[in-house]
C-alpha cells in the first residue's frame, strides 16, 4: 500500500461515506415511518379534546407552560399533569388562580365555565396518553 494519500483515495472515501450515510438515513426514515402508526391515537380525538385544544391555544397556555417539552419554562410541564394530579385537582387549581401567594408565580384567572374546564381536562388527558417514549424525562415537569 502506498504511503501517500491520493486524490482518488480521498474521492473513494467521500463517495463511500456519503453512500453509507445516505443508506443509513433511508433505513432510519423507513423505520420511523413504520413505527409512527403504531404510536398514533388520533382515533381518540373527541369534540371535547378539540375544544380543549382551542382553549389551550387561545389562552396562550404555552406562553408559560410546556406541553411535551415544547413551550415556555415559566410554569410546570402539563403533558403529564393528568396522571400526576387527576381531573378534579386540575379543575380546582385553575378555579383557585391566582393564589396571591407571595414569591410564587401566578396564573391568571380565566373564568372558565364548567364545560370549558371539562374540555381542557379532556385535552390534557388526551395529551398524557401520547406515546412520547418517556419524554419529558422529569415526571414532575
How confident is the model at residue 127, as a pLDDT? 93
Q: What is the CATH number of domain 43-128?
A: 1.10.760.10
CB-based contact 90:82 (threshold 8 Å)? yes
Q: pLDDT (tens digit, 9 = 90+) per residue, 58-108?
A: 999 999 999 988 899 899 889 889 999 999 999 999 999 998 889 888 999
> Of 1-5, 51-55, 78-82, 125-129, where does mean pLDDT reach its minimum?
1-5
Reported pTM = 0.75
Q: Please tell me whether residue 43 adopts helix, strand or coil conformation.
A: helix
Domain extent listing, the chain: 1-40, 43-128
pLDDT of 25 > 70? The answer is yes
Residue 117: closest CA among 21, 59, 22, 52: 52
| Cis peptide preceding 98, ω within 30 of 0 | yes
Q: pLDDT (tens digit, 9 = 90+) per residue, 109-118?
A: 999 999 999 9
Amino acid at each position: 500500500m502506498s504511503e501517500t494519500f491520493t486524490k482518488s483515495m480521498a474521492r473513494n472515501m467521500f463517495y463511500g461515506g456519503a453512500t453509507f450515510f445516505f443508506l443509513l438515513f433511508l433505513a432510519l426514515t423507513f423505520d420511523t415511518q413504520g413505527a409512527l402508526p403504531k404510536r398514533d391515537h388520533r382515533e381518540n380525538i373527541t369534540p371535547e379534546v378539540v375544544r380543549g385544544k382551542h382553549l389551550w391555544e387561545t389562552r396562550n397556555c404555552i406562553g408559560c407552560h410546556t406541553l411535551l417539552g415544547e413551550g415556555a419554562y415559566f410554569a410546570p410541564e402539563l403533558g403529564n399533569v393528568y396522571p400526576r394530579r387527576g381531573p378534579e385537582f386540575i379543575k380546582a387549581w385553575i378555579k383557585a388562580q391566582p393564589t396571591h401567594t407571595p414569591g410564587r408565580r401566578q396564573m391568571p384567572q380565566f373564568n372558565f365555565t364548567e364545560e370549558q374546564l371539562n374540555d381542557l381536562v379532556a385535552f390534557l388527558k388526551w395529551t398524557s396518553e401520547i406515546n412520547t417514549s418517556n419524554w419529558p424525562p422529569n415526571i414532575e415537569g
